[in-house]
Amino acid sequence: MDLPKTPSFRLEGKRALVVGASSGIGLACATGLAEAGAHVTLAARRADALSEISGAFAERGWSSGTMPLDITNVSAVQTALSSEEPFDVVLNAAGLARHSKAVDTTTDDYDAVMAINLRGAYFLLQAAARRLIEAGKPGSLITISSQMGYVGGPERAVYCASKHAVEGMTKAMAIEWGGNKIRVNTICPTFVLTDLTRPTFDDPEKRAWVESKIKLGRAGEVEDIMGAAVYLASDASALVTGTAMLIDGGWTAD
């Protein structure tokens, strides 16, 4: 009797670019992809941190390289990716949050958040897809979005706007590039304990609000995101595109 065979979650032979790899969710995802066998190019603004991480990967027998990169510099991103062989996997974890009441939002805060979360994300995916299309190769493009791409929250109008836009962008790109066998998806975590969310968790009232909304009763940790990254990068998700993996502890269930 023939039985179906589970598709492989392994990533040997794949080249992955992880942007925002110097800390937090980006570092966790880069670790997961490297552990699964991919050659991971670590990209972020902090070149010193990338070198340290690459050294730690080497100690574990994992293959990696570094690429100092500022996602807000679109021309630099385009130049960097055009000079590389196309990446089989691109995972963008670069992000920024500047929270305030909507009536107090400044244009500087709005522009800073959008430059990274939306503009930078858009043109990174564009550059990655162009290289794959030129080479006639399939690929998996993954953006770390947020549950806030599906709900709203106090003092988060700009952040929510950026993440709702990322979700729409992802669907449209998935439709356009599906014929090229390029998959485009997002991972949407709830509040994860990182440097980015530390101000929220340091405020007892805000922390209580967060924990009251998460049905599983705890905030996220970076390890909660790693499996989703490996899944979306691998052949196990070969028919998954234009969608989001909500890792929110049940926040959006009601």
Q: Catalogue the active-site residues.
A: 159
- Radius of gyration in angstroms for the set of CA atoms belonging to the chain, rounded to a whole number: 18
Chain centre to alpha carbon of residue 183: 14
**Contact between residue 85 and residue 134 where contact means Cβ atoms under 8 Å apart:** no
Q: What is the phi-psi region of residue 233: left when phi exceeds 0, alpha when psi lies from -120 to 50, beta otherwise?
A: alpha
**Contact between residue 173 and residue 130 where contact means Cβ atoms under 8 Å apart:** no
Q: What's the CA gap between 11 and 33, in Å, rounded?
A: 7
Cβ neighbors of 196 (< 8 A, separation 6 or more) are 24, 95, 96, 97
Q: What's the CA gap between 234 and 29, in Å, rounded?
A: 13
Using DSSP bridges, classify how beta strands 64-68 and 244-247 pair: parallel, antiparallel or unpaired: unpaired
- Rounded to a whole number of angstroms, the distance between the first and last alpha carbons of the chain is 43
Q: What's the CA gap between 89 and 148, in Å, rounded?
A: 24
The runs of H, that is alpha helices, within 92-203 are 107-114, 121-135, 157-177, 198-201
